[in-house]
């Protein structure tokens, strides 16, 4: 049985002020104890530590720079995670995204080709065999499955397509979130690609220099080769870039299989006033052919981005040019601008599409929200939908800046937050503490109430939450601790080893997790 927040207050005889309530008080109430749901979250934390709710514990599984083989090292700023079982839920291959380079480290060294060549090996992704032995997850070092797909890897464009006269790109980078195909491959998304090789002004054809890492000063790889979704086979490491899914700051690529066997992929463009996209394949078990759509919330429709549209035909010479310039094309046909649409997850209980919109600070919407979309007839192939707000960020909502999400095996929703380091503990964000991990229970008297379960180290954010199939392990990335450091000898964070901060992957387990994921 599910209760609304208002129903819950009535049950406990509590008068809520501004929909706020004390979670400590709720957890100690007789009602919760009678229902066997007596667990407490944590309060916002401001210290340099990974703090967990009682009944949970963590261990560091992988750290930045850690050797995977004698010649390969784990990358930096790990993000999206996906686990592929080899012999059950406690043995498999873990895919890990590596998003970008630390601006502090990059700015403290001379920007030479030799330095940038080393940096190219720290982005992309890692494939790592891991196994649970003696109740602890361990890296299987030197496994044949341990691989790096990085900024130097030669990756073909799917379907033999050509981009800027080339059938292949050099490297993948800016890998943020991702997805998993129904046939067991990983989709890794290239997000802020322009920070590496810049961009091209479509109207003039002139190159716009990167204002971040400046790789384009030493390498002439076309910017159009980046900003795609890359499919990787976890067992072989074979990769390809999908043109059909469009080019923009992809935050994720969440898949759903339709009844006729075709695959639908949802993706958000993580930039202020950008858009939400849906791709529908035309063949089973393949993303190489199909149609890309963009959402109009006002019309409740998915609008096709196709060259046969006279509005697009006037501007772009062919379908490939539309897909390279999705942002411009989407605006021409009237797509709805959103507040940084990031992760997208599908509710396993009812098929609703949840979209985390992190914030839009220029529009004075600093806390974000989670949007809920319902496809007509609950059919992912439908081109019509309804939408509503699932959760509003801010003091009343209980969290700020929702980012990545995951459903556990019991159907409870877990949410990580992404308050930027420059905003943390200040102004609108002063009461939220460090970034956190929250759970929203599916049923029971706590249903719909975000409960904070973890707090990240200073300047860090949690990313890529992923549950083992038995619900006993939550894999979680801890990204960019100490990001606001200005003096490398005095970092703002010393997590996890007490010296210099390192992005890491942790495993979270414990009796509380077992209880929640089995409810």
In a 10 Å sphere around its CB, with 0-12 CB exposed, 13-18 middle and 19+ buried, how is residue 422 labelled? Answer: exposed
Closest CA to 291 of 300, 303, 301, 299: 303
For residue 300, pLDDT over 50 is answered with yes
H helix or E strand, kind and range, residue 248: none
Between residues 415 and 9, the one the model is more confident about: 415
Q: What's the pLDDT score for residue 6?
A: 38
Angstrom CA distances, 139 to 185, 197, 200, 468, stand at: 21, 33, 41, 16
Residue 441, SS3 per DSSP: coil
Q: What's the pLDDT score for residue 213?
A: 92
For residue 513, pLDDT over 70 is answered with yes
Express each pLDDT in 313-354 by its tens digit: 999 999 999 999 999 999 999 999 999 999 999 999 999 999
CATH code of the region 39-385+397-517:
2.120.10.30
For residue 285, pLDDT over 70 is answered with yes
Q: Regarding beta strands 199-200 and 207-208, do their DSSP bridges make them parallel or antiparallel, or are they unpaired? A: antiparallel
Q: What's the pLDDT score for residue 427?
A: 96
Sequential DSSP letters for 101-143: --HHHHHTS---HHHHHHHTTSSEEEEEEEEEETTEEEE-TT-
Closest CA to 29 of 17, 11, 2: 11
For residue 21, pLDDT over 50 is answered with no
For residue 475, pLDDT over 90 is answered with yes
Q: Regarding beta strands 186-190 and 175-180, do their DSSP bridges make them parallel or antiparallel, or are they unpaired? A: antiparallel
Express each pLDDT in 227-272 by its tens digit: 999 999 999 999 999 999 999 999 999 999 999 999 999 999 999 9
Q: How confident is the model at residue 506 (pLDDT cuts 50, 70, 90)?
A: very high
Tokens 């393949």 label which residue?
286
Structure tokens at 161: 């397509």
Q: How confident is the model at residue 37 (pLDDT cuts 50, 70, 90)?
A: low
Q: What's the pLDDT score for residue 42?
A: 97
Closest CA to 497 of 48, 42, 46: 48
Positive or negative: CA dihedral 296, 300, 304, 309 = negative
Q: What's the pLDDT score for residue 106?
A: 57
Structure tokens at 298: 């006002």
- Cα 333 off chain centre by: 27
Positive or negative: CA dihedral 466, 471, 473, 478 = positive
Domain ranges of the chain: 39-385+397-517
Between residues 239 and 448, the one the model is more confident about: 239
* First and final C-alpha spacing in the chain: 12
Region 464-478: mean pLDDT is 98
Region 101-119: mean pLDDT is 79
Which of the 8 DSSP states describes residue 333? T
Q: What's the pLDDT score for residue 29?
A: 39
How many of the other CB atoms lie within 10 Å of CB of 364? 8
Distant-in-sequence, close-in-space partners of 97: CB < 8 Å, separation ≥ 6: 78, 79, 80, 81, 124, 125, 175, 176, 177, 178, 188, 189, 464
179: phi then psi, degrees, rounded to nearest 5: -170, -175
Q: Regarding beta strands 136-139 and 124-133, do their DSSP bridges make them parallel or antiparallel, or are they unpaired? A: antiparallel
Lowest mean pLDDT: which of 89-103, 139-153, 459-473? 89-103
Contact assessment for residue 8 and residue 446, using Cβ atoms and an 8 Å cutoff: yes
pTM (predicted TM-score): 0.93
Can you name the residues that pair with 257 across neighbouring β-strands? 263
For residue 69, pLDDT over 60 is answered with yes
Positive or negative: CA dihedral 47, 56, 505, 345 = negative
Angstrom CA distances, 278 to 302, 382, 428, stand at: 8, 11, 33
Tokens 């439908």 label which residue?
382
Cα(213)–Cα(197) distance, integer angstroms: 8
In a 10 Å sphere around its CB, with 0-12 CB exposed, 13-18 middle and 19+ buried, how is residue 381 labelled? Answer: middle
Torsion, Cα 510 511 512 515, to 10 degrees, reads 130
The mean of the pLDDT values for the chain is 92
The pLDDT > 70 percentage for the chain reads 91
């Amino acid at each position: 049985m599910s209760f609304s927040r208002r129903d819950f207050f009535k049950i406990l005889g509590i008068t809520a002020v501004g929909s706020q309530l004390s979670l400590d008080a709720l957890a100690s109430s007789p009602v919760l104890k009678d229902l066997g749901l007596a667990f407490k979250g944590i309060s916002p934390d401001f210290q340099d530590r990974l703090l967990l709710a009682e009944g949970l514990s963590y261990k560091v599984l992988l750290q930045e720079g850690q050797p995977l083989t004698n010649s390969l090292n784990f990358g930096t700023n790990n993000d999206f995670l996906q686990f592929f079982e080899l012999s059950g839920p406690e043995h498999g291959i873990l895919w890990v995204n590596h998003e970008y380079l630390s601006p502090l480290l990059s700015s403290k060294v001379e920007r030479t080709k030799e330095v940038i060549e080393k940096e190219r090996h720290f982005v992309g992704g890692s494939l790592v065999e891991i196994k649970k032995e003696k109740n602890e997850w361990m890296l299987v070092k030197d496994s044949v499955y341990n691989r790096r797909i990085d900024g130097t890897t030669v990756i073909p464009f799917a379907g033999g397509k050509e981009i800027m006269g080339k059938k292949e790109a050099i490297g993948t980078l800016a890998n943020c979130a991702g997805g998993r195909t129904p046939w067991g491959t990983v989709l890794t998304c290239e997000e802020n690609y322009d920070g590496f090789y810049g961009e091209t002004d479509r109207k003039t054809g002139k190159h716009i220099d990167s204002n971040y890492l400046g790789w384009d000063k030493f390498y002439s790889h076309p910017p159009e080769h980046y900003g795609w979704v890359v499919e990787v086979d976890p067992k072989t490491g074979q990769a390809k870039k999908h043109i059909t899914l469009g080019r923009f700051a992809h935050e994720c690529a969440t898949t759903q299989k339709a009844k006729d066997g075709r695959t639908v992929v949802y993706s958000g463009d993580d930039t202020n006033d950008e858009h939400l996209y849906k791709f529908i394949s035309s063949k089973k078990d393949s993303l190489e052919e199909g149609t890309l759509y963009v959402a109009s919330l006002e019309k409740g429709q998915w609008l096709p981005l196709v060259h046969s549209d006279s509005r697009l035909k006037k501007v772009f010479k062919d379908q490939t040019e539309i897909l390279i310039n999705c942002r411009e094309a989407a605006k021409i046909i009237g797509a709805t601008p959103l507040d940084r649409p990031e992760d997208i997850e599908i509710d396993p209980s009812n098929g609703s599409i949840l979209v985390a919109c992190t914030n839009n600070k220029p529009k004075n919407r600093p806390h974000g929200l989670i949007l809920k979309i319902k496809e007509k007839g609950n059919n992912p192939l439908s081109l019509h939908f309804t939408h509503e707000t699932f959760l509003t960020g801010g003091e009343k909502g209980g969290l700020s800046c929702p980012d990545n999400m995951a459903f556990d095996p019991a159907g409870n929703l877990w949410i990580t937050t992404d308050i930027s380091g420059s905003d943390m503990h200040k102004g609108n964000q002063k009461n939220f503490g460090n970034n956190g991990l929250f759970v929203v229970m599916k049923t029971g008297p706590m249903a719909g109430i975000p409960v904070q379960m973890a707090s990240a180290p200073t300047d860090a954010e949690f990313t890529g939450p992923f549950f083992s199939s038995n619900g006993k392990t939550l894999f979680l990335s801890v990204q960019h601790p100490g990001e606001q450091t200005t003096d490398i000898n005095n970092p703002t964070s010393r997590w996890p080893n007490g010296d210099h901060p390192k992005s890491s992957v942790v495993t979270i387990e414990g009796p509380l997790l077992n209880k929640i994921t089995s409810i």
